[in-house]
Amino acid sequence: MEFELDEDERALAGLCRDFATGRIAPQVERYLAEERCPTELLREMGELGLMGLLIDEAYGGAGVSTVAFVAALEEVGRIDQSIAAAWQAHLTIGSLPLATFGSHAQKERWLTPIAEGRRLAGFALTEPSAGSDASAVTTRAERVADGWVVNGQKMFISNAGTDMSFGVTALARTVSANGEETGYGNFVVERGTPGFTFGEKLRGIGWRGLDTRPLSFDDVEVGDDHLLGEGGGGLGQFLSVLEVGRISIAALSVSLGQAVLDLALDYAGQRVQFGRPIGRHQAIQFKLADIATEVEAARWMTYRAAALRDAGRPFRKQAAMAKLKASRVAMWAASEAVQIHGGYGYMTESPVARFFCDAKILEIGEGTNEIQHLVIARELGCGD
């Protein structure tokens, strides 16, 4: 199976490559040193039509294929993983719950500004005591006469606290007026809603430009029109969106693998030891050949999962496998690339060290790799 991009898809990848090299690359070290999400660049991406890639044109998006989305992410992720992480979270878990389960009115109100890149989107699932076990969330939305009252805490939520954030879509347990639990719901909570607050930006070992924060919901009142879908099935809604998120993390991982391969190849051609470039020593050549081979394998697994989604076929297993494989490859390849750079690769100012620090989260976010094993085992018929 080949995944040839058509003319429009190649043009999109080219646009992303030009933006990443021309606009992001010159600024990346500065905004990472400031530990801030570069919303000015995300707004520019909106002007270029890049903030609603998977959203229908009717709601301000570009409606591109998942394969084209992966190609676009590859281009941005090779230059900076932080902005690519913010972008992909916006495009997938931030936008897709509204796009998939929202009503026409909800889409016109919230999705269009998101897809046009006037607002940044995020999704709030994780809580201090509920991460991998999403069903254990304790945030509650209690039914009142004209809507819902939301209470709870969220943890590690990306894209919710920037000057461009619209708010979040948050997963909560739904509780009827007489106190009975009725399932889960996804609620749109806009920034500025009384009782909705966020804490300080969290500092990770990588993704220093991603805005990730704890959130609080203290008697937050929202109307019925803030609930996506019928209600009750909110957990299933989110888990279905997460499958696309896994393709997205796989694409980020492939882009990181390619970035460290390019850096290591370049360095191996320049660094001379024992009278010749280190790339002429077979041990280094074999490392480079292994990285290239593994990145290629991860790439095709990722495009295959994307192509299955585009064909309307089941892709849960392939998305989990692609995420598992590609994130492992990214972590391992980054370590090998630092090794090829020797002591210079260990210094924080070296780009390869930056990618090394960015790699670890790929094995954790959007379902840890242990959870990917559980998903794959279940798909094989041997899980719980």
Q: Which residues bind ligand FAD (CB under 6 A)?
A: 89, 122-126, 131-132, 156-158, 204, 207, 210, 212, 361, 364-365, 368, 370-371
User: What is the C-alpha to C-alpha distance for residues 83 and 102, in angstroms, rounded to an integer?
Assistant: 27
Task: Report, in Å, the least distance between residue 129 CB and ligand FAD.
Answer: 8
Shortest Cβ distance from residue 134 to ligand FAD (Å)? 8
Report the C-alpha gap between 198 and 194 in whole angstroms.
12
**Residue number of the CB atom closest to ligand FAD:** 131
Cα atoms in the 13 Å half-sphere on the side-chain side of 80: 26
What is the closest distance, in whole angstroms, from the C-beta atom of residue 170 to ligand FAD in the complex?
9
The residue (of 180 and 384) whose beta carbon lies closer to ligand FAD is 384
Catalytic residue among 9, 75, 336, 366: 366
C-beta neighbour count of 3 within 10 angstroms: 17
The neighbour count for residue 266, using CB atoms within 10 Å, is 12
Which C-beta is closer to ligand FAD: that of 49 or that of 214?
214
How far is Cα of residue 2 from the mean position of the Cα atoms in its chain?
Answer: 25
Query: Which residues lie below 8 Å from residue 166, measured CB to CB, with a gap of 6+?
Result: 110, 113, 114, 119, 120, 121, 190, 191
Spatial contact of 190 and 239, defined as CB atoms under 8 Å apart: no
Given a contact cutoff of 8 angstroms between Cβ atoms, the answer to whether 251 and 70 are in contact is: yes
Q: Please, which residue, 165 or 212, has the CB nearer to ligand FAD?
A: 212
Distance of closest approach, residue 198 Cβ to ligand FAD, in angstroms: 12
Q: Least separation, in Å, of the C-beta of 8 and ligand FAD?
A: 30
Lookup: tokens for 250: 């796989």
Is 180 a catalytic site residue?
A: no
Q: Which of 124, 250 has the CB closer to ligand FAD?
A: 124
| Active site positions, annotated | 366
